[in-house]
Amino acid sequence: ILDNGCGIDPPVIDDVRDIEVKVESLLEEIAKKDMRIASEGLAVVTTALCSQRNFTAALSRIEKMVNLGCKPLPFSFNSVIKCLFEEGVIEDLGTLVSLIQEWGFVPDPDTYLIVVNELCKKNDRDDA
């Protein structure tokens, strides 16, 4: 993001607590100039939040970027879907289908692999 930040000076990060705020601000500025780069930055942020098991913040970032007119990458959605399964938020396939429809997300082959894998982990072979 910093290398391709569309001529935006990166903020100085003095405190770890400020990182989320400053990264979000930087992504907002980038989105005004280049949606593709903003989408890639969002994918990184979303994946990082999911790796911390913070699906609420990850969903919030996706929603914010959609509101800015940026289309999140399938990788972003896939990270969140996997996190939602791991945290037990998605109990069954119907819940997931509803979420995907609500987001307007078109699943890619990786999405199906994630879903089948997570359903198998829950011994839900019928839905898998």
pLDDT, tens digit, 9 for 90 and up, residues 67-85? 888 777 888 888 988 998 8
Indicate if the pLDDT at residue 24 is higher than 80.
no
Q: What was the pLDDT predicted at 113?
A: 92
- At residue 46, φ and ψ (nearest 5 deg) are -60, -45
Give SS3 for 35. helix
Q: Where are the domains of the chain?
A: 16-121
Residue 60 is predicted with a pLDDT of 86
Query: Rounded to two decimals, what is the model's pTM?
Result: 0.74
User: What is the percent of the chain where pLDDT is above 70?
Assistant: 84
Name the band, by pLDDT with cuts 50, 70 and 90, for residue 110: very high
Angle at 125 between CA 120 and CA 128, to 5 degrees: 75
User: Are the C-beta atoms of 49 and 57 separated by less than 8 Å?
Assistant: yes
